[in-house]
Chains A and B, each alone.
Chain A
Amino acid sequence: MNTNLERFSYDNTIVRNFIYATVIWGVIGMLVGLTIALQLVFPVLNFADFGTFGRLRPLHTNAVIFAFVGNGIFSGVYYSLQRLCKARMYSDALSKINFWGWQLIILSAVATLPFGYTTSKEYAELEWPIDIAITLIWVVFGWNMFGTILKRREKHLYVAIWFYIATFVTVAVLHLVNSLEMPVTFLKSYSWYAGVQDALVQWWYGHNAVAFFLTTPYLGLMYYFVPKAANRPVYSYRLSIIHFWALIFIYIWAGPHHLLYTSLPDWAQSLGVVFSIMLLAPSWGGMLNGLLTLRGVWDKVREDVVLKFMVVALTAYGMATFEGPMLSLKNVNAIAHFTDWVVAHVHVGGLGWNGFLTFGMLYYLIPKMYDTKLYSSKLANFHFWIGTMGIIFYAIPMYWAGFVQSAMWKEFTQDGVLAYPNFLETVTQIKTMYMLRALGGALYITGVIVMAYNLYKTALAGKFIANEAAEAPAMQEEIAHKGEHWHRWIERKPIQMLVFSLIVILIGGIVEMVPTFLVKSNIPTISSVKPYTALELEGRDLYIREGCNNCHSQMVRPFRSETARYGEYSKAGEFVYDHPFLWGSKRTGPDLHRIGGKYPNSWHYNHMLDPELTSANSIMPPYPWLFDRKLDVSHTADKVTAMRKLGVPYPHGYEQTIETEMNKQADGIVKNLAKDNIKVASDKEIIALIAYLQRLGTDIKVKEKTETENK
């Protein structure tokens, strides 16, 4: 044994900075969440074009996922990694670049999303220059992490570090694959993939963003901070190994459960279901391992607020990961999908698991790094209770709203017609639940603000230890001996660990995606489906800019209740030119895939000007700016060219005829509106949007028409 102790210090400053960022962005992200929750009850709160629900909802999700939880991950990883490796972070400069780079990325999200610069792909809404910045900063994080691991003084890699490595590798793969896009301008791009393929890639990403951004890094933190807070080793290290490999292996397959009953090929849907059910085992393995770590110290849970937060976090994790597999059963999904049930589900995970584990970690870290006691355990207990009440007041009304609305959507009268043919009726029915949800959110945020105050006072009372002195013997070169176990070989070698994790997660992704991309017959083409006209393409971009897809799906599922309400169910072949796909994931308003031709142009005109003109008590905001602004056609030709490069068969030279064709189509709409006594200039944005909405889902109607004509 080497007895030469090496002296070094842990960098606490970077941890503290990330903690500040976690708290500040947490409060901001949650306030945006509260705002959009209130907008659903009081539509008047959609105060400006940059303040509508459609534009703020992506800001909320990005802020809480990447700003709140993201900074939380970095806080916890930068603290625990140094201690588990018995080494200071590899480079203080890289730590700083990681910190400031990440905050700049968040600021650029704040500066783009509310102004309509979005790719529309959920949790990947940021436009391509920001995507590149994310890639660079993520590489900096990985570089710093691996540098630290390589110069560690502890031979073995504790299980928490495995989770960090898997997180780094998988997030990198997910981000790169899902962000492939064709830039048109500095802040506009089109997804490389179209329709069904785009949907598959997006939900492979979306689901694994939950898995590898909200779950695996936090499990790593759990494996470090729960034993620390309880001052006992983890219940079963054996279980943690099984937990790790099974979790990362199975999670990557489960994405298609977001697309059940859609136009995604059925075999891919079934694969998603099977793996989602299997996921229950490792998830609960992890939860039990965390909770059982507290065996024998449950008396401490009554007094120690850190443990209280962690117990509720683990319980919420257990509930959410039980519910997830249930939601991916096709019969449950048929009821839950597109409703507030899913919103409840993610918030049990987000508020309970991520939120409470973060709070527990912060209450543990701040007093420790400031070498003092927590300013007020009374306030911390208040936070615990008001936060728990907040989760309950959030989740229960949302479950209720989900059940009620879904039942109303599916109810038929004895005569065989829909009992609630007016979608709006099913919305007004659950408005009270929306109000209660906002109350739950408000309670939760109150707790977070109290925590911020408590931590601030704690920091004031203590003295910050910027560089925590430590000592450890240098690591000895270990010579591999014959017959040693392969897993220990991996554990000693972090790079092997990385490669192994990468292989494990790639298997699932490849088996799912390669057939969908290579086997042409997976997406039967429909000859009558044609590319959008230039005006419709511009209208589609307005639909994306306003974030319509946050409340409206474009996917009629093959159920009687849906075909009776919306029309013919959606076919895979109808989306082949949709870069990006716009299927949506939530129906706060009705599905729009068959909206084309359903109402006259004047209906859309009035509805967009003031939804209450056509639909009393609608909670949709008005869009008056679409009527003032001229449609920006300066990039239309570039957009068409970009689409052609992506494989959309626009005829050659189409760019030259765009102007005449757009004017012709726009004039047609204007003339049609004039019949209903509406006077409007043909160059306004609303005209393009109407053109797009009237086109939606009509291509197969053309086919039916020609078929009947031919008879």
Chain B
Amino acid sequence: MLKYIKQHMASIAGIEIYPVISFVIFFLFFLVVALWVVKGNKDYFSKMSALPLEEENK
């Protein structure tokens, strides 16, 4: 079983880079979005979340 996996893993040069690239891309992206959300302006968020209810309150 392990031999079977190893054979596939070993057959690709630089295989370890794929998970690393994917993780780095995702993590950076996530950080940027999270930062923005944390730093964002409160009025803007409350305005946005009230959008669907607007027609009721006109």
Expressed in whole angstroms, the Cα–Cα distance for A227 and B51 within the complex equals 10
By beta carbon, the residue of chain B nearest A240 is B49
A80-B52, A237-B48, A522-B11 known, 14 other contacts, Cβ within 8 Å = A156-B51, A160-B52, A228-B52, A237-B46, A238-B37, A238-B40, A241-B33, A266-B8, A487-B33, A487-B36, A507-B25, A511-B21, A519-B12, A558-B4
Is A231 engaged at the interface, CB distance under 8 Å to the other chain?
yes
Within 8 A of B (CB), among A480-501: 485, 487-488
Query: How many whole Å from A238's CB to the nearest CB in chain B?
Result: 4
Is A43 engaged at the interface, CB distance under 8 Å to the other chain?
no
A245-B33, A267-B19, A507-B25 known; A522+B8 contact, CB < 8 A? yes
Query: How many whole Å from A509's CB to the nearest CB in chain B?
Result: 11
Q: Is the CB of B52 within 8 A of A237?
A: no
Expressed in whole angstroms, the Cα–Cα distance for A86 and B1 within the complex equals 59
Top 9 closest pairs, chain A to chain B, by CB: A233-B49, A521-B11, A237-B49, A237-B45, A158-B51, A238-B37, A266-B5, A265-B8, A266-B8
Expressed in whole angstroms, the Cα–Cα distance for A80 and B52 within the complex equals 8
Q: Is the CB of B34 within 8 A of A84?
A: no
Query: How many whole Å from A448's CB to the nearest CB in chain B?
Result: 27
Expressed in whole angstroms, the Cα–Cα distance for A386 and B14 within the complex equals 55
B13-53 interface code vs A (CB 8 A; 1 in, 0 out) = 00100110111011001100110111010001111111111
**One of A240, A242, A265, A270 near B19 (C-beta < 8 A):** A270
Expressed in whole angstroms, the Cα–Cα distance for A227 and B50 within the complex equals 9
Residues of A within 8 A of B5 (CB): 266
Q: Is the CB of A249 within 8 A of B29?
A: yes
Is A271 engaged at the interface, CB distance under 8 Å to the other chain?
yes
Q: What does DSSP make chain B's interface, helix, strand, loop or mixed?
A: helix
Query: How many pairs of residues, A versus B, come closer than 8 Å at their CB atoms?
Result: 102
Can you list 27 residue pairs at the A/B interface with Cβ under 8 Å?
Answer: A156-B47, A156-B48, A156-B51, A159-B48, A228-B52, A228-B56, A231-B56, A233-B49, A233-B50, A233-B52, A237-B45, A241-B36, A241-B37, A245-B33, A249-B26, A249-B30, A265-B8, A267-B15, A270-B19, A271-B19, A271-B22, A488-B44, A507-B22, A507-B25, A511-B18, A522-B8, A522-B12
Residues of A within 8 A of B12 (CB): 265, 267, 515, 519, 521-522
Residues of B within 8 A of A515 (CB): 12, 18
Q: Is the CB of A558 within 8 A of B1?
A: yes
Q: Is the CB of B29 within 8 A of A84?
A: no
A238-B37, A558-B4 known; A231+B53 contact, CB < 8 A? yes
By beta carbon, the residue of chain A nearest B41 is A485
By beta carbon, the residue of chain A nearest B12 is A519
Query: How many whole Å from A486's CB to the nearest CB in chain B?
Result: 8
Residues of B within 8 A of A249 (CB): 26, 29-30
Q: Is the CB of A228 within 8 A of B53?
A: yes
Chain B contact residue count (CB 8 A cutoff): 36
Residues of A within 8 A of B11 (CB): 521-522, 524
Residues of A within 8 A of B19 (CB): 267, 270-271, 274
Q: Is the CB of A84 within 8 A of B22?
A: no
Expressed in whole angstroms, the Cα–Cα distance for A224 and B48 within the complex equals 12
Within 8 A of B (CB), among A251-281: 253, 265-267, 270-271, 274-275, 278
A500-515 interface code vs B (CB 8 A; 1 in, 0 out) = 0000100110010001
Is A83 engaged at the interface, CB distance under 8 Å to the other chain?
yes
Is A250 engaged at the interface, CB distance under 8 Å to the other chain?
yes
Residues of A within 8 A of B29 (CB): 245, 249, 504
Is A465 engaged at the interface, CB distance under 8 Å to the other chain?
no
Query: How many whole Å from B16's CB to the nearest CB in chain A?
Result: 9
Expressed in whole angstroms, the Cα–Cα distance for A507 and B29 within the complex equals 12
Expressed in whole angstroms, the Cα–Cα distance for A488 and B18 within the complex equals 32
**One of B8, B15, B36, B47 near A485 (C-beta < 8 A):** B36
Query: How many whole Å from B14's CB to the nearest CB in chain A?
Result: 10
Q: Is the CB of A83 within 8 A of B52?
A: yes
By beta carbon, the residue of chain B nearest A238 is B37
By beta carbon, the residue of chain B nearest A235 is B49
Expressed in whole angstroms, the Cα–Cα distance for A637 and B1 within the complex equals 41
Residues of A within 8 A of B26 (CB): 249-250, 278
Expressed in whole angstroms, the Cα–Cα distance for A228 and B30 within the complex equals 29
Within 8 A of B (CB), among A602-660: none
A211-251 interface code vs B (CB 8 A; 1 in, 0 out) = 00000000000011001100111101110111001100110
**One of A233, A236, A278, A485 near B53 (C-beta < 8 A):** A233
Expressed in whole angstroms, the Cα–Cα distance for A227 and B5 within the complex equals 49
